[in-house]
Amino acid sequence: MSEQVINVASSLAFIAALSAMIWWLRSRAGHWSSEDGTRCICQMKLALTGASPKWIEARIVIDTENAVVLCKTRSKRGRALHGMWKVIGVPHASHVGAPDSSIRTYALCRTNDNDVLAMLRIPLHSRSVSVLDALLPH
């Protein structure tokens, strides 16, 4: 009888540990950056839409010659983010939410429509931060 109890307890402990690891891995924002910082995986969302959209994983290419950010996403929710964006500044703290000292957030607008705004967030340690900072208006 005690062997069965130990078996059940160890199985439950294993399932709990595995579930905690999966939750921890899924809650972390995925990030990757190329050697030169011109390509990366980051988080984006549309801004000032009235709703509170979720952050969506985006793959961006930073075109430094034309000063634009090319964005693609995998999800259906992210299709509105596809295309070319200009870096216009850093969003006000009221739009970003809780401050996080390890993340840098940028405000973007469409290259062909300045009324469509988005926000891009990226870890501060990323190689792409310096490339995006170079696109900020002076």
Do 82 and 116 lie in one domain? The reply is yes
Please determine, for residue 105, whether its predicted confidence score (pLDDT) is greater than 80: yes
Structural domain tally of the chain?
2
Mean pLDDT over each residue of the chain, to the nearest integer: 86
Q: Residues 56-98: pLDDT tens digits?
A: 889 999 999 999 999 998 888 888 899 999 999 887 665 666 5
Do 68 and 118 lie in one domain? The reply is yes
Instruction: Enter the DSSP assignment of 41.
Output: E
Element at 51 (helix H, strand E):
none
Do 120 and 53 lie in one domain? The reply is yes
Task: Read off φ and ψ for residue 35, nearest 5 degrees.
Answer: -55, -45
d(CA 132, CA 37): 9
Question: What predicted TM-score, i.e. pTM, was given to this entire model?
Answer: 0.74
Do 4 and 36 lie in one domain? The reply is no
Helices and strands, counts by H and E, the chain: 3, 7
d(CA 67, CA 94): 26
Do 43 and 98 lie in one domain? The reply is yes
Q: Which domain holds residue 17?
A: 1-30
